[in-house]
Structures are given as structure tokens and as C-alpha cells.
Amino acid sequence: GNSVTQMEGPVTLSEEAFLTINCTYTATGYPSLFWYVQYPGEGLQLLLKATKADDKGSNKGFEATYRKETTSFHLEKGSVQVSDSAVYFCALTRSGGYNKLIFGAGTRLAVHP
């Protein structure tokens, strides 16, 4: 079946450090891939998306590239800020169907000044 695997957290970084959160997926067909972010006390917000192979999603300095050959969608940011502290979820929707989201376990990021 379809599934998403994320690196375990928490990830603790100093401000301005480089961030990578690994995400790999298993899916039939051609899924769309997403990163959602959850700030403390809030709901899930879409951070970025990619709908086909080699697409790069980007937003707020974050980016991720849909790599079909390695079934990966790693999240990166060149210089994190304290305000980026949150839980990050990688997710996919299978092609066709009613677009339920299949999530990874989430990775907590803590950025210190």
C-alpha cells in the first residue's frame, strides 16, 4: 500500500543552520507530494507541494524536489529561523480517487537562537 516514511525527530538546530528533513514514499502510480507544517497550538498548513516527477515545490525559503528515481521528497532550508520551530509532515495523495492524504509520522524541529 501507499506509505510515507520520515526521519525521526526531534531535530535541534541553531538559527541560520541548514535544514534537511528526509522523506521517502511508497506508492502506486504517480502520487502528488506535500509538506505540511503544524505550529504550536495550530492546525496543519500546507507548506509546499509537487505534483509530478522533478517538480520543485518552494515556499518561505523551504524547498523540496520530487525524485521518482529515489522515491524521495526531502525538505530543505538554507538558513532556519526560530520561527520555523514546528512539526513538519510529509504526505502524499495517490493518483485519482478522492485525494485522502497519507501522512508520515512528522518531524519536530526546534531552532534555538
* Residue 19 beta carbon to another protein: minimum distance, rounded to whole angstroms: 21
How big is the chain, counted in residues? 113
Sites for another protein among residues 76-95 (CB under 8 A): 89, 91, 93-95
Our finding on whether 74 is near another protein (CB under 8 A) is no
Give the separation between CA 15 and CA 101, rounded to whole angstroms: 31
For another protein, what does the binding mask look like between residues 32 and 71, x meaning CB under 8 A?
A: x---x----xxxxxx--x-x--------------------
* Residue 1 beta carbon to another protein: minimum distance, rounded to whole angstroms: 11
User: Beta partners for 4?
Assistant: 25
Give the separation between CA 83 and CA 28, rounded to whole angstroms: 36
Query: Other CB atoms closer than 10 Å to residue 27's CB: what's the count?
Result: 18
* Residue 101 beta carbon to another protein: minimum distance, rounded to whole angstroms: 6
Q: Given the complex with another protein, which of 74 and 94 has the nearer CB atom?
A: 94
Q: Given the complex with another protein, which of 78 and 105 has the nearer CB atom?
A: 105
| Alpha-carbon radius of gyration of the chain | 14
User: Beta partners for 78?
Assistant: none
Q: Check if the beta carbon of residue 41 is closer than 8 Å to that of residue 27.
A: no
Instruction: Kindly list the residues in this chain that would bind another protein in the complex (CB under 8 A).
Output: 30-32, 36, 41-46, 49, 51, 89, 91, 93-106
